Structure 1
Amino acid sequence: MRVLRNLALDLVLVSLRVGLRLLSRVVPTSRSVVLSASPETEGNGVEVARALLGRYTGTIVWLRDGGPVPVEVEALADRGMVLVPKASPAGLWAYLRAEAVLFTHGLYGSPRPVPRKPVVNLFHGDGPKDVRPARGVGAPMASTYLVGSTTLFSGFQAEAFDVPRDRLLLTGNPRTDQLWRDLTPHQLAALGITGPYVVWLPTFRQPRAVGAVRVHDAAVVRDDAAAGLAGLLAGLADRGLQLVVKPHPMDADRRRTPGVVTIDDDDLARVGVGLYPLLGSSAGLVTDYSSAWVDYLLVDRPIAFLVPDRSTYDRELLPADVLDWAPGEVVDNDPWTQPFAEFFADLDTHGRRGSSLRLSVAERIGLNPTTTAADDLVTELVKRGVLDSA
């Protein structure tokens, strides 16, 4: 069944890639742009739409996957953004007529751009994971420009996507603008958060089939993170902190763990809360190979890395030694004597203890410290002629 699904998906995507590229050469463009984000609450897409609504005078078309409209998207539609089903003739026509296309995870098979229609890959974060599409799942994401926030990690990504360095836009991840948006106690309580908290953001090991994504038949990959959670939960409880886990949208493991507040995209959509405001209100972050820690450096708060599968993780890390100089304690598969001791000490000082390390890592990776990434991106797109004016 999985093989048939992948073959059918490949056939559809190849047809779209070829057909839309040919039509894009001849169909006249209009003063419009199309945006596609997956999931629709993905901050890079939402924040770029918000910035465009404040400055772009053309039509902004948001391509939808279906289902209930997220609160954030509905608010943008109330301001004039046009919502169109992605899998529809209207969606395809909007794509063909747009003067520019922006996406986070690819769109319509990602046809190679033609000169008259620049394609901007907003992507979904700068991290150490190798993103080359030949690695098991994924598809080519052809684009004219790639958006990033670091000279180091974005450089690897540009090479993977075959985007020239001079078309790498290091304006910052637009979603990071949300880190400074406060959440109310009522919003947090609706998610099951009743006090100060630390967020655990594990990346996915075994992907599940979500939308137009191919899934490979590799053996189930386990990270055995539960082995390190008991000490983490106990230490956080001693400090009056909750642990909140947000599973990756593609993770087959939904991370339902006793003592942990589990929040998924549906929960966030129900309350009208984005992931990055949730991160911005947290006391600290526990993650692994995820790109979230790069963004979290901007708020300069404690970070720990729970990587019990460090020696068996099946994705290449770039650079390979990244965990040797990570900006926080690494809890890996070595014998644990006092796991999270450094992380707890940093929490006890409200981040002062680890601040110099985080600053040095931010400098090492060339992190753009902007707090206005979405607006900076729009400015750069106008400067480069991607948008006529804004």
Structure 2
Amino acid sequence: MSASSLWHDTKTNIAEIFSGLAGWILIAPVAALVPRRLDWIAVIGRESGEFVDNTKYFFIDVATDKTNGLRIVHVTGLPEVARAVLDQGFEAMVYPSLRAIWFLMRCGSVVVDSIEWYQKWRRFFLIRARLVQFWHGVGFKRIEFDKWRNEAPGKKILSSRWVLWPRMARRYLYGRAIRFDAVVCTSVFYRDNVFAKAFRSRHLPITGYPRNGFRNEHPLDWINADITARDKLEVCRSGDRKLVFVAPTYRHTPGVPLGLDPGQITKLDEFCELHGFEFVFKFHPYERGGAAVAGRHLHVLNPHSDAYPLLPYMSCLITDYSSIYMDYLLLDRPVYFLVPDFRQYVSGDREIQFDFESMTPGPKFENWDGLLGGILQGESAHWQQRRLNLCQLAFDGHPQADSSILLLGFMRDQGWIPALHPTLGNGTR
């Protein structure tokens, strides 16, 4: 770690400690006195309240069901997101406005799917609210508590006893390392082997993920999707061209993602021209190395956009270590893994929790030439069966379109939201 990075991290840690102390002293005692309404639910998306991932689709499912008797509000730090939701006739508030702060102090439950929800003192305005964490993926990399206890070999000192517990105490102080009321799981396997180790939670309900319903029936589904790219891809599909989704994971180490230097980019575009493919790239929002990707048949999605409405368009997926491939298994289409730097990744970026080979149901390649040849060859029946087996392990065969209904049912059983009136229904859109 460079001296500048160390100094930046130190300043950030000090600021978070003082922010946490101020929150506990000034905000939490007041928020604890405000009565909460069980029929009010706040939803806070990733980053600064993006309209993406599981919180987006949970919000859509609940907000469009007029029979559940609930008031649900998307709380965001992004005015453009709030406007988009409001324009469709649903509720959104911009934090930290007084309205949004008051709603956080009054709502009975909050649903999140990432780590940023606690920031800017939101955690303290939500004292005594029921906290439900969806998280944002299932894969094979360690997350949260499990990651902190098992850092990659290059960072092992951070997992030592004398460093780990001060880290945990600091994170608890400002709101990250807390005990949730519920952490949502996709299957028994992931509950027992991932989420029970990664989070402190009173409950671990198995409901599946709302984003994996892949319905795209409501205008809200397309908010924050890359509409420009969608329209281009519709034209490509009508011309009988095959769409390939490319989703590299984010690396903390510098470099061009997936070896996409100018020469390789040119080769990919020529390959697509020759064989009737269109490559659709979705880089992590923090990734800075994908800006140079461009070509007649190479399409780069807005990194902050929601890719899930576009996944059903894709004929196959290419990734390295991104957990999006697990959700893509539900579409029962080929997955290819480009992993030229496996040893470097697990030693410097993220510890792998499971055996990589057993958890990746698709052929592995160390370079683009081999991967492109593999796409032309197609996958074998062996990989098709491996996909089906892993999909069953990851999702227990549950219809993902029912996940919001199941979560609301669980919350009612716990008394966190009001029981349904006998004359009302219990289904979402």
Which range, TM-score by smaller chain? 0.7 to 0.9
Q: 1:388: which partner in 2?
A: 418
Alignment match, 2:407: 377
Deviation digits for residues 17-41 of structure 1, max 9, x if unmatched? 6655544532211231111002522
Q: Which moved more, 1:66-75 or 1:141-150?
A: 66-75
Partner of 1:162: 200
CA distance in 1, matches of 2:381, 2:58: 33
- 1:360 is matched with which residue: 389, 392, 401? 389
1:263 and 2:301 matched: yes
Which structure has more helix as a fraction of its residues?
A: 2
TM-aligned CA deviation for residue 127 of structure 1: 1.6
1:223-246 superposed Cα distances (whole Å, 9 cap, x missing partner): 543277677655544431111111
In structure 1, the residue matched to 2:236 is 194
Q: What is the letter of the counterpart of residue 118 of structure 1?
A: R
Distance 1:190 1:339, change over 3 A: closer
TM normalised by structure 2 equals: 0.72
* % identical aligned pairs: 21
Structure 1 runs of 4+ aligned residues shifted over 6 Å read 112-115, 182-187, 227-231
Letter in 1 for 2:399: T
Counterpart-to-counterpart distance in 1, 2:71 and 2:373: 52
| Pair 1:38 & 2:50 matched | no
Map Cα deviations across residues 175-204 of structure 1 (whole Å, 9 max, x no partner).
112366699998723579733311111111
Relative to 1, partners in 2 of residues 1:157 and 1:19: Cα closer, same or farther, differing over 3 Å? farther
Q: Look up the equivalent residue of 1:188 and give its one-letter code.
A: R
1:158 offset after TM fit, Å? 3.1
**TM-score normalised according to structure 1 size:** 0.78
Match among 100, 103, 109 for residue 112 of structure 2:
103
Q: Please tell me whether Structure 1 or Structure 2 has the larger radius of gyration of its CA atoms.
A: 2
Structure 1 residues 321 and 96 mapped into 2: Cα distance closer, same or farther (>3 Å)?
Answer: same
**Unaligned segments of structure 2, at least 5 residues:** 1-6, 156-166, 421-429
How far apart, CA to CA, are the structure 2 residues paired with 1:304 and 1:18?
A: 51
Instruction: After TM superposition, list the pairs within 5 Å mapping 1:237-276 onto structure 2.
Output: 237-259=273-295, 260-265=298-303, 268=305, 274-276=306-308
Q: Which amino acid aligns with 1:283?
A: S
Which of the residues 51, 62, 84 maps onto 1:52?
62
5+ unaligned residues in a row in structure 1: which ranges?
207-218, 269-273
Aligned length: 362
Q: Are 1:2 and 2:8 an aligned pair?
A: yes
Partner Cα separation in structure 1 for residue 397 and residue 26 of structure 2: 38
Aligned to 2:333: 301
Report the RMSD for the aligned CA atoms in angstroms.
Answer: 3.6
- Tell me the distance in 1 between the aligned counterparts of 2:183 and 2:22: 24
Residue 186 of structure 2 contacts residue 394 of structure 2 at CA under 8 Å; is this kept in 1?
no
CA contact (8 A) 1:284 1:302 kept: yes
Structure 1 counterpart of 2:140, from 128, 137, 152: 128
